[in-house]
Amino acid sequence: MSDVLLRVTNLVKNFDVRRTKNSGAKKRTVQAVTNVSFSIERGQTLGLVGESGSGKTTLGRCVLRLIEPTSGQVEFDGRDLGLMKFEELRWLRRKMQIVFQDPFASLDPKMTVGASIAEPLIVQGVPGSHSDKIIELLELVGLSADHASRFPHEFSGGQRQRIGIARALALNPALIILDEPVSALDVSIQAGILNLFEDLQMKLGISYLFIAHDLSVVRHVADRIAVMYLGKIVEIGDQETVFENPTHPYTKALLSAVPLTDPKAERARTRVILEGEVPSPINPPSGCRFRTRCWKAQDICSQEEPMLTIRPSGQLSACHFPES
């Protein structure tokens, strides 16, 4: 089965920054997302990884048009979101939902759990009383029917995240954007939520765009991986290919920065420790944006921007001197 549910083409998002004093009236632009293209098939998970400021959250929001992209195309189920009128877009959002990172901020403290879960149904004008649906959803995410009348403060972080997932599932979406859905949770709780995503995907055939900075989590859940650096995808391909044979130096460095939980393996391996930090997206480096931290950089890297190119092991990466 290889039908594409979501196709993003040359997506760009720039934010204007105005500085009032000192810097004069010069308008500056943060290039948060630059020419990003990818697709997600039905029932698949694309993991989007990158450090803070790489643009992964902005990208996720542009896909839903929660923020308007500057340019580029987002097609969902063959239809171009950019051409849609607001009403049409709102209707289509039934099929695309989002779960946020912080389960403490994403639920209204004054609404019962049942009311929170029913809200998307009401907003979308789904008729009838929703009590059966609420119970069904609560049970689907591993909670129980009597939780519906309680308030968010009575729940732990992991349980709140389950409530957020139940709310996202209320309208039977085909795609859920998961923006760092487990990074606020302790590991023992995180594992249960990751299993839940897996079960829901199997049962309901949902696609996920899974945004996270934790590579071991992404590796666990994703079929395909896209690695972002300063607003661009530097490498994209099958999960195993990218993790086993990274071809972009940044992917290699990122993988090497993540500590393994096996002390013997961890100490035996050779690590690439990157120098410096991610440069500002206001004035990104010319050519390859990673060149200022790259140990392989040469003159060409500052002059010519590398394009995503297919590599022998099957993934795409954007580098003049790819690892083999």
Sole binder of another protein in the list 22, 52, 129, 324 (CB under 8 A): 52
To another protein, the closest distance from the beta carbon of 133 in angstroms equals 26
Distance CA 141, CA 137 (A): 6
102 binds another protein (CB under 8 A): no
Residues between 150 and 169 that touch another protein (CB under 8 A): 156, 158-159
Which stretch in 15-23, 98-106, 182-190, 302-310 sits in contact with another protein by CB under 8 A? Answer: 182-190
- Span 282-311, contacts to another protein by CB under 8 A: none
Residue closer to another protein, measured from CB, 80 or 277: 277
Contact 239, 225 (CB under 8 A): yes
State the minimum distance, in angstroms, from the CB of residue 264 to another protein: 7
- Based on CB atoms, which residue is closest to another protein, 89 or 189? 189
Classify 15 as helix, strand or coil. strand
- What's the rounded Cα separation, in Å, for the pair 63 and 203? 24
Give the separation between CA 135 and CA 312, rounded to whole angstroms. Answer: 50
The shares of helix, strand and coil residues in the chain, as percent rounded to the nearest 5, are 35, 25, 40
Cα separation, 95 vs 78, whole angstroms:
13
Closest CA to 290 of 241, 243, 233: 233
Is residue 198 at the binding interface for another protein, with CB under 8 A as the rule?
yes
- Other residues' Cβ atoms within 10 Å of the Cβ of residue 192: 15
User: Smallest distance from the beta carbon of 2 to another protein, in angstroms?
Assistant: 25
Interacting span for another protein (CB under 8 A) from 36-44, 118-126, 166-174, 218-226: 218-226
Candidate list 66, 122, 202, 260; residue touching another protein; CB under 8 A: 260
Which residues make Cβ contacts (< 8 Å) with residue 222, sequence separation at least 6? 45, 46, 47, 210, 239
List the one residue from 188, 270, 299, 312 that touches another protein (CB under 8 A): 188
Comparison of 85 and 267: residue with beta carbon closer to another protein: 267
Q: State the Cα–Cα distance between residues 269 and 260, nearest whole angstrom.
A: 10
**Residue with Cβ nearer another protein (94 or 296):** 296
| Residues 106-125, interacting with another protein (CB under 8 A) | none
* Among the listed residues 80, 154, 277, 304, the single contact to another protein using CB under 8 A: 277
Under rule CB under 8 A, residue 2 binds another protein: no
Q: Is 213 in the site for another protein (CB under 8 A)?
A: yes
Q: Which of 12, 115, 140, 191: binder of another protein (CB under 8 A)?
A: 191
By the rule CB under 8 A, 268 interacts with another protein: no
In a 10 Å sphere around its CB, with 0-12 CB exposed, 13-18 middle and 19+ buried, how is residue 267 labelled? Answer: exposed
Candidate segments 3-11, 93-101, 191-199, 294-302, binder of another protein by CB under 8 A: 191-199
Q: Does 315 bind another protein (CB under 8 A)?
A: no
Query: Which residue's CB is nearer to another protein, number 21 or number 267?
Result: 267
Which amino acid does the sequence have at 39? S
Whether the CB-CB separation of 221 and 301 falls below 8 Å is answered with no
Alpha helix locations (H) across the chain? Answer: 56-63, 86-92, 113-123, 131-140, 157-169, 187-204, 215-221, 239-244, 249-257, 263-268, 299-303
The residues of the shown chain that bind another protein, judged by CB under 8 A, are 51-52, 156, 158-159, 186-192, 194-195, 198, 213, 215-217, 219-221, 243, 253-254, 256-264, 266-267, 271, 273-275, 277-278
